[in-house]
A = this chain, B = another copy of it.
Amino acid sequence: MKNKFRQHIEKTTSLTDEEFDFVFSHFKRKQIDKKQCIIKKGKPVENVYWVLKGLMKASYLDLNGKQHIIQFAMEDWWITDYQAFINKEKATIDVSCLETSEVLVLSFSDREKMCSESQKMANFFRIKSNASNAALQKRVLTLLSSNSEERYNELLSEHPKLLQRVPKHLIASYLGLSRETLSRLSVKKRIDVKI
């Protein structure tokens, strides 16, 4: 497990054994039950989470009571309400657990401490933040330029596992379409494939 996490970090930034032990000492391991909520709208956001095993979602309830999915997080992904986490504000979104999960937990103060003592880790989080920016920008472009079918196909080709693991109505929320439309798209897809 420690090894898996180290691999994750070292995809971006190589570390000596001592450096990794220093980094790792700031994290706590935690099990999260299915349906459990780790960040609730209106509450402080203490931590950022790295998913070792399982599946989480970050979602927003709009004024009409509709749920919108901001992101999923599978193995190897980070998740929190960044806006609230960084600025010590109250959460504006919920983060909860779709499958029983194991995560590594990092508190705000531990993250700050780690970054001030390790240039490499400050750099790591900077790169992660930039990658997140790029991903969000790509998502904006997709929402601006693609219709439902194109968005569905894009997700299908980029994250086929999500489609299998996540209830369809949540996939619909993530793509910005109704569950009925998504259902029709998946039927169409199956027929298209046969032909």
Contact = CB atoms under 8 A, between A and B. Distances in A.
Contacts of A87: 130
A17 interface: no
A108 interface: no
Contacts of A66: 145
A82 interface: yes
Interface in A42-70: 60, 62, 66, 68, 70
Contact of A144 (B130, B136, B176): B176
Contact of A133 (B129, B143, B173): B129
Of A134, A139, A144, A173, chain B has the most CB atoms within 10 Å of the CB of A144
Contact of A70 (B68, B126, B130, B137): B137
A137 B176 contact: no
A132 interface: yes
A195 interface: no
Contacts of A82: 130, 133-134, 137
A86 interface: yes
A83 interface: yes
Interface string A130-152: 10111011011101110000000
24 contacts: A60-B141, A62-B145, A68-B141, A68-B144, A70-B137, A70-B140, A70-B141, A82-B130, A82-B134, A82-B137, A83-B130, A83-B134, A86-B127, A86-B130, A126-B126, A129-B133, A132-B133, A133-B133, A133-B136, A136-B137, A139-B140, A143-B143, A144-B173, A144-B176
Given A140-B143, A143-B144, 20 more contacts: A62-B145, A66-B145, A68-B144, A70-B140, A70-B141, A82-B133, A82-B134, A82-B137, A83-B130, A83-B134, A83-B137, A86-B130, A126-B129, A129-B129, A129-B133, A132-B133, A136-B137, A143-B176, A144-B173, A144-B176
